Amino acid sequence: MNFAHLNEYMYNFIEEVCNEIGPRESGSESEKLTGDKIESELKNYCDETWQEKYIAHPTAFLGGVRYGTVLVFVSIIMYWVSLLTDLNMIQLEISWSYIFMIIGIIILFLADSYFVLEVMRYHEVFDFLFPKKDSNNIVGVIYPTKEVKQSVIFSAHHDSAYEFNLFYYFKRFGQKTINFAYIGIVFILIVLIAKFILNIFNVRANMIFLILGIAFLFFLPIFIPYLFFHSYKSVLGACDNLSGVAIILGIARYLSENKKDFVPQNTKVYFVSFAGEEAGIRGAKRYVDMHYQQLKNENTKVVNIDSIATPETILIATKEIIIGVKHEKEIYEKLYEIAKENGINGKMVPITFGATDGAAFSKKKIAATSISGLDLENELVPFYHTRLDTPEVVDPKALGLIVKMCVNYLKRIDMES
């Protein structure tokens, strides 16, 4: 396979979107314009294309981080007021100590719930507190020449992330503070509950809780930056994830231009560009909900592509730990074998930070995996969710390698069907 012309086509697409449309906040007009451009491209190569509108609350995913941080500060204040009341340093009835503790526990529990359920686990528990917006997933399909025995979806996302100030200014240290912040919030909640319970049984351990209260103060340098964790200005997102979109366009173009060499016989091929990935994989979740029975009936396999930058870093996801899903072994092992056969430096690894659209499928037991170019466990590249994510960080050769992997994967599963 010669992918030189495809590499140029895919890279040019990335540049055009960055130069002509720019950043693409989830639910924004620029996200919709990009979707229109993607569909226009897919029309050249697919038998059919369409857009699917959905409603979500995109700012709920990260928009509550600063509010949750404020709640943590308030809970610490409630703890200290309660403690100083116990020590008679504030002249109030002892019942007020219980009231302050109850307030502190409730608001800290809310903050914990938001960070764990909404930000870590991608549930939409607090979405009702944030405004609704509509977005569009883009779909193209190439039909097989014979009976449909299975479907494969090659997917990516076309929205771009808010800039993560902690990553841009503090780099790897900013990423590491995330775990410390979560540990700190859980630690404070445990201490608050313990103090409340002991006070109910009239067990006073004021000196111990004074020491623990002082320990809370050491977490403040970590908590305070979370008031400014991200901006509300989206980045260009050339790597994350116009690279993935360019690759699915490259696959579609290859199949369209090489019908003499290969046409799927029993495999229906979908190309899906999701909106709202940076808003907590909302677009992919809506797609799965809308098409669940069809996905099952068609024996669908999903290869999601996210953030490809260099040929040296190509990761095939076995699972996504934060969101709690395992990917389909048959898919990721086959992709790994194909990578080895073609001299591609692919690795099978778990994703330990964040989540991809592939997780939305695996969570509902639809066979899927994701191919990524970001090894965030071992390296925080400077362009991840920052203003540095420009076309220059994407190596066109890397795009071609992923197209080669995906086309060979399609050929293999079609032959085996």
pLDDT tens per residue across span 293-312: 999 999 999 999 999 999 99
Q: Could you please report the per-residue DSSP string of 244-304?
A: HHHHHHHHHHHHHH-TTT---SSEEEEEEEES-GGGTSHHHHHHHHHHHHHHHHTTEEEEE
Q: What is the pLDDT of residue 257?
A: 95
Query: Which sequence spans correspond to the domains of the chain?
Result: 4-56+132-161+235-416, 65-126+166-230
For residue 60, count CB atoms less than 10 angstroms from its CB and return exposed for 0-12, middle for 13-18, buried for 19 or more: buried
Helix (H, G, I), strand (E, B) or coil at 236: coil
Per-residue pLDDT of 238-284, as tens digits, reads: 999 999 999 999 999 999 999 999 999 999 999 999 999 999 999 99
Tens of pLDDT, residue by residue over 338-374, are 999 999 999 999 999 999 999 999 999 999 999 999 9
pTM here is 0.95
Looking at the chain, the number of H-run helices and the number of E-run strands are 13, 11
CATH of 4-56+132-161+235-416, one of 3.40.50.300, 3.90.226.10, 3.30.420.40, 3.40.630.10: 3.40.630.10
Give the per-residue pLDDT at 290: 98
Q: How far apart are CA 273 and CA 276, in angstroms?
A: 10
Segment 374-387 shows an average pLDDT of: 95
Please report where in the chains the tokens 């390698």 appear, as a residue. Answer: 401
Cβ atoms of 105 and 9 closer than 8 Å: no
Q: What is the pLDDT of residue 340?
A: 97
**340 neighbors 346 (Cβ within 8 angstroms):** yes
Sign of CA dihedral 352, 353, 358, 363: positive
Average pLDDT over residues 315-319: 98
The 10s digit of each residue's pLDDT in 107-139 is 999 999 999 999 999 999 999 999 999 999 999
- Run of H or E residues at 367: strand 367-372
The whole-angstrom separation of Cα 86 and Cα 98 is 10
- Cβ–Cβ under 8 Å, residues 311 and 163: no
Choose among 369, 370, 359: nearest CA to 288.
Answer: 359
* Residue 59 confidence (pLDDT): 97
At residue 203, the pLDDT reads 87
Per-residue model confidence (pLDDT) at position 277:
98
Both structure tokens of 102? 């109850």
Confidence of residue 1 (pLDDT cuts 50, 70, 90): low
Whether 2 has a pLDDT exceeding 70, the answer reads no
CA–CA dist 102, 75 (Å, integer): 10
Is pLDDT of 385 > 90?
A: yes
Chain segment 162-214, per-residue pLDDT in tens: 999 999 999 999 898 888 898 999 999 999 999 999 989 888 899 999 999 99
Residue 343, C-beta contacts closer than 8 angstroms, at least 6 positions apart:
none
